[in-house]
Amino acid sequence: MMLTSKSITKESIIDVEGIVSLVPQKIESCTQQDVELQIEQVFVISQAAPRLPLQIDDAARPDGDESQGPMVNQDTRLDNRILDLRTSTSQAIFRLEGGVVQLFRESLMKRDFVEVHTPKIISAASEGGANVFEVSYFKTSAYLAQSPQLYKQMAICSDFDRVFTIGAVFRAEDSNTHRHLTEFVGLDLEMAFNYHYHEALDVIGSMFNDIFRGLRDRYQTEIETVNKQYPAEPFKFLEPPLRLTYPEAVKTLRENGVEMGDEEDLTTPAEKLLGRLVKAKYDTDFFILDKFPMAVRPFYTMPDPNDPKQSNSYDIFMRGEEIMSGAQRIHDPKLLTERALHHEIDLTTIQSYIDSFKYGAAPHAGGGIGLERVTMLYLGLDNIRKVSLFPRDPKRLTP
């Protein structure tokens, strides 16, 4: 039997019958170190092909450990994703990612949110911000939704008060970066509030803290497994979440040599530097930046009633990278039309959007996050493709 077992190819699925027995010495190379199986019978259920495109051991090796054997580069991993996903690191990453979704749901459901599902095939490129994929739709064409924004808001106008939705988001941007995908999972929420949009911002902040706390408490094993291959500093956050205002951030950046105007948007290097400065000062990897200038926000953002140059909008950062851009939305059709004209948007393309607020709409605010980006930044990974099961980017459509 020894001879036949040796000829079973690596990664084959086998059934084993044997006797569990104690061992005199711990078996270092296994997870079960105190016992072993004295095998009586082996059955091969599914034989693997003899030549594997990549070795699981190589794929699980930490960076920089070349002495132990070769590394597998990202393209090879993604081309043979099934094998790459078998490493314990990948298994841990996706279990943790599932946990993020579960914690998101739990956190919002206990705050009386209703889960809804919005359509992904839409008739018009709604936001006009990101680019959209066009698909043929019987005799005409349609588009793949680049965010559930419009439908979240319509749900609020349908008296659902607090909604969240988890679904695919499609962005046709030819971005070839470490943190963009063309298809990703969006976790979006929207809620009506009574007096001030900070009611919504408080809920969003608590939701994030629930997620981080839950990951820290329930997924410690997974985090450690990932850190074995991809070491990173543990994720730090404050209770309640840190909240800074945009003017404060601009002041801090200027003190550290960044030249920027009061109403200018933050560049990516400025965001990263701000992340480091906040980390040094407050010891947190997570913070909310409130009160963005109106000039850099989309047309549907509600202006600040006390200062028309500021808006009731906010961005949220993890490890110096933006994960959510949210705001109070304009719920008054007249003001919305005004702002759209100011931004030189063709009203015919958004008429149905404006009309949805015609029959009574509560003031509301919300935001959306990308599941993959949050997971990637929580674990301190360097590439979003590591946290997407079968990633889609401008150059990759398979597997």
Partner 1 sequence: MAPNRIDNDVKALARYFNLKNCKCKFDKKSGVTQLVHNGQTVCGLASIASFLVQNSEQPSLHGGSCHMTKAQIQQWLQYRVTIVDRCLNEKDVTTVLKELNSFLESRVYFVTSSLTVADLVLYFGLFATFNQLTLQEKEKYLHLSRWFNNVQRVAKLEEFYPILPFSLNYLYEGVSEH
In the residue annotation, 322 being an active-site residue is answered as yes
Residue in 179, 243, 297, 339 annotated catalytic: 179
Q: 């990897």: which residue's tokens?
A: 285
Q: Which of 17, 40, 75, 233 binds partner 1 (CB under 8 A)?
A: 233
Q: 């959510």: which residue's tokens?
A: 324
Is 256 a residue that touches partner 1 (CB under 8 A)? yes
Q: 């401008």: which residue's tokens?
A: 394
In the residue annotation, 344 being an active-site residue is answered as no
Is 255 a residue that touches partner 1 (CB under 8 A)? yes
Instruction: Give the span between the Cα atoms of 328 and 203, in whole angstroms.
Output: 13
Bridge partners, residue 304, by sequence: 307
Residue in 36, 106, 173, 263 annotated catalytic: 173
Instruction: Give the span between the Cα atoms of 179 and 318, in whole angstroms.
Output: 13
Q: CB atoms < 10 A from the CB of 119, how many?
A: 12
**399 upstream amide cis, omega within 30 of 0:** yes
What's the closest the beta carbon of residue 279 comes to partner 1, in angstroms?
7
| Coil/strand/helix, residue 145 | coil
In the residue annotation, 179 being an active-site residue is answered as yes
Residue in 106, 199, 321, 322 annotated catalytic: 322
In the residue annotation, 180 being an active-site residue is answered as yes
What's the closest the beta carbon of residue 276 comes to partner 1, in angstroms?
4
Q: Which stretch binds partner 1 (CB under 8 A): 209-217, 251-259, 341-349, 362-370?
A: 251-259
Site map (CB under 8 A) of partner 1, residues 267-286, x = contact: --x--xx--xx-xxx-----
Q: How many CA atoms lie within 13 A of 374 on its CB side?
A: 26
Q: Which stretch binds partner 1 (CB under 8 A): 5-13, 160-168, 189-197, 254-262?
A: 254-262
What's the closest the beta carbon of residue 281 comes to partner 1, in angstroms?
8
What's the closest the beta carbon of residue 179 comes to partner 1, in angstroms?
11
CA-closest candidate to residue 54, choices 13, 9, 84:
84
What's the closest the beta carbon of residue 71 comes to partner 1, in angstroms?
16
Closer of 276 and 309 to partner 1 (Cβ): 276
Residue in 105, 180, 392, 396 annotated catalytic: 180
Contact 147, 300 (CB under 8 A): no
In the residue annotation, 107 being an active-site residue is answered as no
Q: Which residues of 163-180 are buried (b: 16+ CB within 10 A; e: fewer)?
A: bbbbeebbbbbeeeeebb
Instruction: Give the span between the Cα atoms of 293 and 313, in whole angstroms.
Output: 8
Closer of 66 and 255 to partner 1 (Cβ): 255
Would you name the residues annotated as active-site residues?
171, 173, 179-180, 322, 325, 373
Enumerate binding residues for partner 1 (CB under 8 A): 233, 255-257, 269, 272-273, 276-277, 279-281
